[in-house]
């Protein structure tokens, strides 16, 4: 589908190889190849063609687009975003990057919403979804600004791969997240620094052979 006039707004910026149409000018930020590099890099390594991917915390849509590109047209991405204004940016992002046909956007928060998340992304004015209601998927990516533990403890799905951006400044260090994943039958295969100053950590966890899950 060709982009409409809004999609071709000259204020579009590029984050980690993904074009993001902005709702307001962003002076001096026409290109940030390092933005979301930790989660995007892990998605590029772990997502296979035909995978079903779930993203919790859509933000500007960078990881949604990366996941959709990696699944090709044979897979799908379902993204949960709690804030309505951010959801509109996300919707435009998937449209301008031509992946909308296999992306589903849910205006919803999974688990609790932290004050930090609302201060950065705006009020969580979407539906509330219990972690236990997350759909089955092959790859789950969490970037939920401090709600990672609640989501991991409450979810019933068993993806092949779980990618979690942990937020130590918000009281959720990787040392709190890794044991939950390991107790659920996952092996931590990678730890990647993230954030503007390396203050965050992206954990990649792969379900161990013989563990239960949505993918044999």
Q: pLDDT of 101-158, one tens digit each? A: 999 999 999 999 877 778 777 799 999 999 999 999 999 999 998 899 999 999 999 9
| Domain positions in the chain | 35-207
Q: Which of 38-47, 55-64, 112-121 has the lowest mean pLDDT?
A: 112-121
Mean pLDDT across the stretch 43-47? Answer: 97
Instruction: Report yes or no: 42 and 188 within 8 Å, Cβ to Cβ.
Output: no
CATH of domain 35-207: 3.40.50.150
- Residues 6 or more apart from 100 whose CB is under 8 A from it? 1, 91, 94
């Amino acid at each position: 589908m060709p982009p409409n006039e809004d999609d071709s707004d000259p204020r579009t910026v590029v984050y980690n190889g993904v074009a993001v149409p902005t709702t307001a000018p962003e002076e001096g930020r026409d290109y940030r190849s390092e933005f979301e590099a930790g989660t995007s890099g892990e998605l590029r390594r772990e997502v296979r063609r035909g995978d079903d991917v779930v993203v919790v915390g859509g933000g500007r849509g960078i990881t949604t687009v990366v996941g959709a590109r990696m699944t090709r047209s044979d897979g799908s991405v379902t993204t949960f975003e709690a804030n309505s204004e951010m959801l509109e940016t996300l919707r435009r992002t998937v449209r301008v990057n031509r992946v909308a046909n296999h992306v589903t956007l849910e205006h919803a928060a999974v688990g609790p919403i932290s004050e930090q998340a609302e201060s950065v992304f705006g009020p969580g004015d979407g539906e509330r979804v219990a972690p236990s209601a997350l759909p089955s998927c092959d790859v789950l990516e969490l970037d939920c600004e401090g709600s990672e533990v609640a989501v991991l403890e409450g979810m019933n799905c068993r993806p092949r791969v779980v990618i979690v951006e942990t937020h130590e400044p918000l009281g959720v260090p990787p040392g709190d997240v890794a044991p939950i994943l390991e107790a659920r039958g996952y092996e931590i295969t990678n730890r990647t620094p993230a954030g503007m100053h390396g203050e965050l950590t992206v954990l990649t966890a792969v379900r161990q052979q013989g563990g239960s899950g949505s993918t044999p």
